[in-house]
Chain A
Amino acid sequence: MNIIKTLSLTAVFVLSVVSVSFAAGNVLTSKAITGAIPSSPADKVWETTASVEMDLLPQIVAVPSIGTATISKARVWSVNNGTEIAFKLEWFDSTRDEALNMPDKYSDACAIQFPLKDSDKPNLAMGEKDKPVYIVHWKAAWEKDTAMGYQDVEHAYPNYNVDGYPLVKTVENKAVYPVNSFSDEAKAFMAGIAAKNPVSNTDRRVPVEELNAEGFGTLTSQSSQDANGKGIWDYAYWKVVITRKLMTDDTADTVLSKERTSIISFAVWDGSKGNIGARKNIYEGEWLNLKIE
């Protein structure tokens, strides 16, 4: 009993020391660390790094929108080692939504956004013409794809039966399910895959995607993917780390550097509430300042 009390008191103490709430003009400081950048949200380094809490609002600028916020608060941390930078986002979500392989299921997700050019302060809502933004997007469904293999029809409906698919081998009159085993000829019957749509990528290696946009409806996946991430669902909290190099060779990536203040923004989706695309929660209406120590 005493031990539990002591632990909970310690937890309260730690939180009160390292956490501040964002208000207008507040700064998220990316703390300088030495050694490897944390690739996991469970890494110890986060415990000694200050976090800030964000109030989230429903996206209402563009159609479609959501009437009320489905996630109202999120917490964010950042650290960097001079070469790479990591962000950790955490928010309460009692439902773990990681299916995109059913017609009525949507994935939990989060994203961070930067102006592509340092001098710009583009429209917070996905940038604007000639003022592009750079986005790193994490999805719970992609986390599951990378951890357990591409989630497909047989995972959503384990007892389903099919006679076969065109040009796909059958073993003992049963279709061979894993789509990655399909030949290119067989994949031609799956239009999204044949069209090389990035969301139809059945061989996803990282749970994040780098994108650019110049306003609503222009979101485009990058040809060169340089970011990484890791998300865990821990007692009804999503804890997600997104990492990337401060500077990359890709001109479509925002350049981040030490001793320099950038601006940044965040968005969070709750799949079970039908959140997808523009149906999302965003930080309340302003770019945040990011200081990289």
Chain B
Amino acid sequence: MAKVKNWQLGREMDFPYPEHRPKKQIAYVFDTNKCIACQTCTMACKTTWTVGKGQEYVFWNNVESKPWGYYPLGWDVKVLELLGQQKWDGDKYAGKTIFEAAPKGEPALGYAPEDLDYASPNLGEDECKDVIKGTEDHYIKGPVHSNWGFYLARICNHCTYPACVAACPRKAIYKRDEDGIVLVDQSRCRGYRECVKACPYKKPYYNNTTRVSEKCIACYPKVENSEMPQCVTTCIGKIRLQGFKSHPDKIRKNNPMDYLIHVRKIALPLYAQLGTEPNVYYIPPMHVDPKYLKQMFGPGAEKAVQMYRNAGQDKELLAALLLFGSTEKRIEAFKIKGEMTVGYDKDGKEIVSVPLTEPAIVRPAKVEQSGAYLYNNT
């Protein structure tokens, strides 16, 4: 095991390979507050990449309703239970990662899902309170909590320290140096499913027909062409933005990714304590138990929620957030120009501009000419 720096944990950790950060690192920001679980992203991904035989149960992208929805069933609670109770010491993680807690002879702490775990995508959908009583006739037993829930959209995290890469005995999985995208070599994989077992997010899938493992490819043909992936550009709720993030020591403030992740710290990694340094970042939901948010998004969750509540009065933050869903092209830099937020491509060319405030037109309820009242005038 090598010692590598994991900035999300604020400390060094063990990993089978020495630290090697790619020239560029793909990153995403998902705003959970705007997601309505319409699954348009899921279907966009499915119809683009996983329509083949053997992929019937495969969802590289899925949206699950938390706290009780999962795909595969119970993926996060199972991993957290295996890991046991761990602690944050301020911004520094004081517990063990899946690599540090790996049993002897195992590359990481993990488990292999059963096929029935994949049988019901998002079992527990929209169940947020009353159906969960912890009694015999309910499939989930757990604490009854106050009425909250939210939608968690999930894809491969293209981790800096991928558990799938750590676990593959054939080195058939690799992280591309040019953009940090993690890919399975389809000609070298022998279907051992070590990646499926080790990935705590359960994002590699075994193909029942080709008998090899597959995973999200970050729509690399689009990314190479300066476009954002299918799940990002098809999102009708405009909850997603994809870009490249810098190392925390070399941030560029006008890069929307760096700004949201490193400058404002409003976008947080999912279960950072597992130690893979995931690169999909989430703006946490506003109306969820802070303890739950801390477990899922780390110690900065509550602060991020407060910041988000105030976004309307925070011009620069608003400027970054309004870029979401505004264009299919990747925005490498942004700037406020008057009352507009403007996005630029890698050559510095303007590709999009969005008003910071939409013009509001108030129509009087009574139409003077006719004397009639409008009941639906929005």
Taking beta carbons and an 8 Å cutoff, which residues of A are in contact with B? 60, 62-67, 100-105, 152-153, 156, 160, 162, 165-166, 168, 179, 182, 189-197, 199-200, 202, 216-219, 274, 276-278
**Separation of A193 and B210 alpha carbons in the complex (Å):** 6
**A104 lies within 8 A of B105 (CB):** no
Beta-carbon contacts of B169-205 to A below 8 Å, as 1s and 0s?
1110000000000000011111111101000000001
**A103 lies within 8 A of B57 (CB):** yes
Assuming the contacts A190-B54, A192-B207, A277-B169, asked whether A104 and B212 have C-beta atoms less than 8 A apart, the reply is no
8 chain-A/chain-B pairs, Cβ below 8 angstroms: A63-B107, A66-B105, A152-B208, A162-B56, A192-B186, A192-B211, A199-B190, A217-B171
**A153 lies within 8 A of B191 (CB):** no
Within 8 Å by CB of B187, from A100, A162, A196, lies A196
**A190 lies within 8 A of B209 (CB):** yes
**B208 lies within 8 A of A156 (CB):** yes
Is B20 engaged at the interface, CB distance under 8 Å to the other chain?
A: no
**B189 lies within 8 A of A192 (CB):** yes
Within 8 Å by CB of A62, from B169, B191, B205, lies B169
Minimum distance in angstroms from A144 CB to a CB of chain B: 13
Is B314 engaged at the interface, CB distance under 8 Å to the other chain?
A: no
Interface residue SS majority, chain B: loop
A100 CB contacts on chain B under 8 angstroms: 191, 211
A62 CB contacts on chain B under 8 angstroms: 169
**B209 lies within 8 A of A152 (CB):** yes
Is B300 engaged at the interface, CB distance under 8 Å to the other chain?
A: no
**A64 lies within 8 A of B107 (CB):** yes
Assuming the contacts A160-B56, A179-B53, A190-B53, asked whether A103 and B189 have C-beta atoms less than 8 A apart, the reply is no
**Separation of A168 and B52 alpha carbons in the complex (Å):** 10
Q: Which residue of B lies closest to A67 (CB)?
A: B105
B114 CB contacts on chain A under 8 angstroms: 103-104
**B208 lies within 8 A of A190 (CB):** no
**B207 lies within 8 A of A190 (CB):** yes
Minimum distance in angstroms from A264 CB to a CB of chain B: 23
**Separation of A120 and B210 alpha carbons in the complex (Å):** 36
**B51 lies within 8 A of A194 (CB):** no
Assuming the contacts A67-B104, A195-B186, A277-B194, asked whether A152 and B53 have C-beta atoms less than 8 A apart, the reply is yes
**B208 lies within 8 A of A195 (CB):** no
Within 8 Å by CB of A166, from B52, B113, B118, B187, lies B52
Minimum distance in angstroms from A150 CB to a CB of chain B: 9
A179 CB contacts on chain B under 8 angstroms: 53, 209
Number of inter-chain CB pairs below 8 Å = 123
Q: Count residues on chain B whose CB falls below 8 Å from chain A CBs.
A: 38
Q: A64-B105, A199-B190 are known; give 8 further A-B pairs, CB within 8 A.
A: A64-B167, A100-B211, A103-B206, A103-B208, A191-B52, A197-B210, A276-B191, A277-B192
**B105 lies within 8 A of A63 (CB):** yes
B51 CB contacts on chain A under 8 angstroms: 165-166, 189
Within 8 Å by CB of A194, from B53, B57, B106, B186, lies B186
Q: Which residue of B lies closest to A189 (CB)?
A: B52
Within 8 Å by CB of A60, from B105, B186, B207, lies B105
Q: Which residue of A lies closest to B107 (CB)?
A: A63
Minimum distance in angstroms from B184 CB to a CB of chain A: 9
**Separation of A276 and B207 alpha carbons in the complex (Å):** 16
**A278 lies within 8 A of B212 (CB):** no
**Separation of A276 and B206 alpha carbons in the complex (Å):** 14
Q: Which residue of A lies closest to B196 (CB)?
A: A103
Assuming the contacts A103-B115, A219-B170, A277-B192, asked whether A191 and B214 have C-beta atoms less than 8 A apart, the reply is yes
A192 CB contacts on chain B under 8 angstroms: 186, 189, 207, 209-212, 214
Minimum distance in angstroms from B188 CB to a CB of chain A: 8
Is B112 engaged at the interface, CB distance under 8 Å to the other chain?
A: yes
**B206 lies within 8 A of A64 (CB):** no
B107 CB contacts on chain A under 8 angstroms: 63-64
**Separation of A190 and B52 alpha carbons in the complex (Å):** 6
**Separation of A153 and B206 alpha carbons in the complex (Å):** 12
B208 CB contacts on chain A under 8 angstroms: 101-103, 152-153, 156
**Separation of A195 and B52 alpha carbons in the complex (Å):** 14
* B170, B191, B206, B211 — most chain A CB neighbours (10 Å): B211
Minimum distance in angstroms from B16 CB to a CB of chain A: 8
**A277 lies within 8 A of B209 (CB):** no
**Separation of A153 and B114 alpha carbons in the complex (Å):** 16
**Separation of A104 and B196 alpha carbons in the complex (Å):** 10
Within 8 Å by CB of B209, from A104, A153, A218, A274, lies A153
Q: Which residue of B lies closest to A193 (CB)?
A: B210
Assuming the contacts A190-B207, A190-B210, A276-B192, asked whether A165 and B115 have C-beta atoms less than 8 A apart, the reply is no
B210 CB contacts on chain A under 8 angstroms: 190-193, 197, 199-200
Minimum distance in angstroms from B291 CB to a CB of chain A: 33
Name the 5 nearest CB pairs between A and B, nearest first: A192-B210, A189-B52, A65-B105, A277-B192, A195-B186
Q: Which residue of B lies closest to A150 (CB)?
A: B209
A65 CB contacts on chain B under 8 angstroms: 105
Q: Which residue of A lies closest to B205 (CB)?
A: A103
Q: Which residue of B lies closest to A65 (CB)?
A: B105
* A160, A216, A217 — most chain B CB neighbours (10 Å): A217
